[in-house]
Amino acid sequence: MTRKNLDPKEKLAWLQLSRTENIGPITFYKLLERYGTAANALKAIPDLARRGGRLNGLKAFAADLAEKEIEQLEKYGAKLIARDEPDYPPLLAEVEDAPPLIAVLGHAALLPKPALGVVGARNASLAGRKIAEDFSRKVSAAGYVIVSGLARGIDTAAHTASLATGTIAVVAGGIDVIYPRENEKLYRQIAEQGAVIAESPFGTEPLARHFPRRNRLISGLSLGVLIVEAALKSGSLITARMAAEQNREVFAVPGSPLDPRAEGTNKLIQDGAHLALSAEDIIHELKSLRLKPMHDPAGDGWKGPPHVATPDDQAPDESLRIKIMEILSPTPVLVDEIIRATDAPVSAVLTVILELEIAGCIERQPGNKINLI
């Protein structure tokens, strides 16, 4: 089934649904599977939240605010791309919690191209920056887009080296918010020659919690991720972990045991990451990956006909909700385990979980896990 652009009204509904409180990407797709369209899901939200225990109800994100965001993006020169539209990055579409919509500024033609993520220390050494520049320039010249996060240090070096051949900056805030401000010139160069991507709403100032979400997009867009200098506790190692979870390759440049900025990369290599001593090491591995189809280019983001809710599965017995809440804890558990523990119909358990999510009682994690908030 060939991907096609969403109808403008349904695209507006997608934006409303994705911006509604308590509805993250995974919940968004569960709702779409159940109700067929975002417009239908929006109508169901108040009842779902009420049955999940939210006493004061839950209103969907207002249509006029969604329209305003689209207008702001268009005025800024950016566009909104939905996961099931042709321009959406195909590798990112594979990721379980891929954003339903992304804002793109610049050349969207770069999005489907094979890519390498490059991240590392903000306080990078001169040697680290030179390595990032050299590797990024050579890998990009070999036909791979370089994806990074526009941060200081390694990110800046990677973007600068690949400007002429193809680079994508993934920002943590709104697509119009330049962070750090010192990279304003680089941001504008990337917007003109490459592409800038954002998941957060227009005008959003980046907060600490936005950066791990940004990192999953860097790895999700890429065939693999290269780490150049990273402390043991750093955002770069979060990116490496997310890459592994997304079935992407992880490359790491070794460093001196005496340099704290090499502790993270050396540990990655100990744990099985590819040792990257040259750009050629990376290119060789990436070429072998390109021979293996990693996604269905004609896929629609989910398979099979939508499940349309019926009166029976809209209103499971209250005792099932109580039982599910009793067996949950802050520790994530597999939904399959909950189904076995309750010994209830699958459709009823999934309906209760959806209601509890939208009510804000539980949250869903990648890997089909949920936990109490």
| pLDDT tens by residue, 28-47 | 999 999 999 999 999 999 99
Q: What is the pLDDT of residues 256-271, one digit of tens each?
A: 998 999 999 999 999 9
Q: What is the pLDDT of residues 206-247, one digit of tens each?
A: 999 999 999 999 999 999 999 999 999 899 999 999 999 999
At 290, the pLDDT band (50, 70, 90 cuts) reads low
| The CATH number, out of the four listed (1.10.1040.10, 3.40.50.450, 3.30.530.20, 3.20.20.70), of the domain defined by the range 109-290 | 3.40.50.450
357 pLDDT above the threshold of 80: yes
292 pLDDT above the threshold of 70: no
Domain limits of the chain?
A: 109-290
62 pLDDT above the threshold of 90: yes
- The confidence score (pLDDT) of residue 303 equals 42
76 pLDDT above the threshold of 80: yes
**Three-state SS letters, the chain:** CCCCCCCHHHHHHHHHHHHCCCCCHHHHHHHHHHHCCHHHHHHHHHHHHHHCCCCCCCCCCCHHHHHHHHHHHHHHCCEEEECCCCCCCHHHHHCCCCCCEEEEEECHHHCCCCEEEEEECCCCCHHHHHHHHHHHHHHHHCCCEEEECCCCCHHHHHHHHHCCCCEEEEECCCCCCCCCHHHHHHHHHHHHHCEEEECCCCCCCCCCCHHHHHHHHHHHCCCEEEEECCCCCCHHHHHHHHHHHCCCEEEECCCCCCCHHHHHHHHHHHCCCEECCCHHHHHHHHHHHHCCCCCCCCCCCCCCCCCCCCHHHHCCCHHHHHHHHHHCCCCCEEHHHHHHHHCCCHHHHHHHHHHHHHHCCEEEECCCEEEEC
**% of the chain residues with pLDDT over 90:** 80
- The confidence score (pLDDT) of residue 122 equals 95
What mean pLDDT, rounded, does the chain reach?
91
